[in-house]
Amino acid sequence: MAKTISIAIDGPAGAGKSTIARRLAKDLGYYYVDTGAIYRTVAYFFDLWGVSPKDADAVRRYIDELTVGIEYDEEGVQHMIMNGMDVTGDIRTQDIAQKASLVSAYPEVREVLLDMQRNIARKHNVIMDGRDIGTVVLPKATVKIFLTASPEVRAQRRTKELQAKGQKANYDQILKEIQQRDYQDTHRDIAPLKMARDSVKVDTSELDIDGVVAAIREIVNQKVAP
């Protein structure tokens, strides 16, 4: 099998990873793999069961009851399948994001999801975004990007994004949640959010989407012939 190309995009919540990765994947004809959606699906599963993400015993006991699937529709949109049910729309709330951050700290949870992520990258050219893609999931990724922005800019963007979807959004509350999630995601023992030594940092605070896509295209073109 021909060797596949993988572009890892890591960074904190709200840095613009999914918007940028989706655009790049479309431009390049690669699969876009949103790994945050996988952890959100796990969080949603425990939420439905009424299990607190802080209840380590219950998380460990019930994780084997969960089957997570990823499917792509004809437009290339990633769908999350939880025990046979499409939960793609259900996982996009601040509450589930927060619970995903907690549940993703358990080694037992991360372990069962690792092969699934690696298998996609083995079969297809991918742009994969998350927290530990360049450090743990695909340490040999062709290109590694660390996308970041100030917490205030990220909170502003997230507020607008939720409002555009008709969801309630309060900037101060979202900023607090982002800071809390940053703390949890960077301080956990296993696969914490951190920049891989060989990744390129792109700060998106002062850039619009086109600017970020252009900057990353340049980095990608240096490693992968266009």
Nearer to ligand DC, 56 or 226 (CB): 56
Angle at 39 between CA 38 and CA 44, to 5 degrees: 100
Nearer to ligand DC, 30 or 106 (CB): 106
Q: How close are the terminal C-alpha atoms of the chain, in Å?
A: 21
CB of 181 to ligand DC, least distance (A): 5
Residue 79 has phi, psi (to 5 degrees) of -115, 140
Of the candidates 145, 25, 36, the residue with the CA atom closest to the CA atom of residue 77: 25
CB of 13 to ligand DC, least distance (A): 4
Q: How far is CA 118 from CA 14, 121, 171, in A?
A: 24, 5, 36
Instruction: Name the residues that contact ligand DC, by CB under 6 A.
Output: 13, 35-36, 39-40, 97, 100-101, 104, 130-133, 181, 185
CB of 217 to ligand DC, least distance (A): 22
CB of 126 to ligand DC, least distance (A): 13
Nearer to ligand DC, 21 or 28 (CB): 21
Q: Collapse the DSSP code of 68 into the 3-class scheme (helix H, G, I; strand E, B; otherwise coil) and give the result.
A: strand
